[in-house]
């Protein structure tokens, strides 16, 4: 796999090799999505499935001042947090002959700020168990703030805005996508309900 990652930035290449080094050449690669990758994967894939990851939950735990945040109006970015329960999302299968190009694209997008700890994670799908690359919380990163109280999280999402739009828009897109996929997530539903009562709703 190391040879496949030449297009990845030098600072991240070592991490990529460490995570994907045991992935056999010539094999397809599964990518787990729980946030914006669900509606905007940005890479070519051969198959998509619903996928459940045990002992993880989607949580807004990364404070950012780029993208949908700024210095004056910081935003919260979603991550996959180790926590009791189950997170349902989507798993995308990248065909073996596309892994090189598509992994490089994905890495540049998801690892730009270094806020994630990529890992190969076992999960279940209706068609059977798989292991997929997932971008989990990096608790040692300066942007990591952990799970804030729900009201504080909602307030920051309601006010966050940057060059890519508002944090509120992201949450609405997330809630809409989960509803379309018939995925129940009480945490996201509660945040969505709270921001509709926040200023600017």
Ramachandran angles phi, psi of 86, nearest 5°: -145, 135
> 30: number of CA atoms within 13 Å, CB side?
21
Q: Is 110 a catalytic residue?
A: yes
Taking the C-alpha atoms of residue 59 and residue 147, their distance in angstroms, rounded to an integer, is 7
* Given the residues 110, 147, 182, 184, the one annotated as active site: 110
Taking the C-alpha atoms of residue 136 and residue 189, their distance in angstroms, rounded to an integer, is 21
Contact criterion met (CB below 8 Å) for 77 and 64: yes
Give the DSSP letter string of 119-143.
Answer: EEEEEEETTEEEEEEEEEE-TTSTT
Two structure tokens written together for 12: 């991240």
Catalytic machinery residues: 110
């Amino acid at each position: 796999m190391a040879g496949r990652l030449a297009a990845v930035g030098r600072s991240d290449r070592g991490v990529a090799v460490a995570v994907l080094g045991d992935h056999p050449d010539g094999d397809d690669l599964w990518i787990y999505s729980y946030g914006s990758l669900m509606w905007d994967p940005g890479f070519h894939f051969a198959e998509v499935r619903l996928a459940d990851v045990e002992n993880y939950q989607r949580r807004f735990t990364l404070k950012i001042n780029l993208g949908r945040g700024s210095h004056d109006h910081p935003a919260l970015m979603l991550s996959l947090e180790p926590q009791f329960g189950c997170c349902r999302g989507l798993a995308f299968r990248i065909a073996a002959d596309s892994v090189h190009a598509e992994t490089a694209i994905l890495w540049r997008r998801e690892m730009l700020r270094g806020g994630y700890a990529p890992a190969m994670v076992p999960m279940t799908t209706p068609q059977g168990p798989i292991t997929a690359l997932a971008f989990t919380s990096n608790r040692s990163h300066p942007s990591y703030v952990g799970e804030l109280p729900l009201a504080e999280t909602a307030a920051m999402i309601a006010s966050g805005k940057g060059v890519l739009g508002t944090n509120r828009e992201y949450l609405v897109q997330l809630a809409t996508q989960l509803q379309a996929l018939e995925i129940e997530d009480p945490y996201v539903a509660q945040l969505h309900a709270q921001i509709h009562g926040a200023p600017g709703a």
